Amino acid sequence: MPQGVSRREGWTLVALAGITFVAMAIEFQAHNLPWGGIVLWGSMIVFWAGIVVVTVVVHRVRRVHPFGFDRAFKIAGAWEVLLVGVCGWWWIAQGPHHTSAVLTTLAALAATTPLALVGLRLVRAGR
């Protein structure tokens, strides 16, 4: 592992995965909630504010990365976009659905876990 890997950057990526997980879990079930439109709107405001904060923090704490980080980061991002596209088509674009909250939450978890693992890899490599 190279010297100077930022643990803080790793924790920030884990936080980004957590923020994204919560937002996706809410998005996938928003149509089924009594005040779903308002809940979705509010969660998106919090999500985008979280993205801004995480982007600023990552920019400040970014340092060297271990070998393979860029590839793993891109794969994690592509996986998340793929699952958001597929799950979003079935559970957001189609309106109300009968899929359980457990399944949609597991889908959100499956989408965001690779990014959290990439962040934890930085944490482990950092000093």
Residues with Cβ within 8 Å of residue 61, at least 6 apart in sequence: 6, 8, 9, 12
Question: For the chain, how many residues are written?
Answer: 127
The token pair at 5 is: 């890997």
pLDDT in tens, 13-35: 999 999 999 999 999 999 888 88
- How far is 83 from 13, CA to CA, in rounded Å? 18
Query: What percentage of the chain reaches a pLDDT higher than 90?
Result: 66
Bridge partners of 64?
A: 5
The ranges assigned to domains in the chain are 7-125
- How far is 64 from 15, CA to CA, in rounded Å? 19
The residue type found at 17 is A
Average pLDDT for 31-60: 91
pLDDT in tens, 68-85: 999 999 999 999 999 999
Cα distances (angstroms) measured from residue 2 to each of 27, 70, 122, 123: 39, 14, 11, 13
Query: What percentage of the chain reaches a pLDDT higher than 70?
Result: 98
- Which pTM was predicted? 0.88
More confident residue, 66 or 43: 43
pLDDT of 62 reads: 86
pLDDT of 1 reads: 61
The beta strand positions in the chain, using DSSP E, are none
The token pair at 19 is: 């923020």
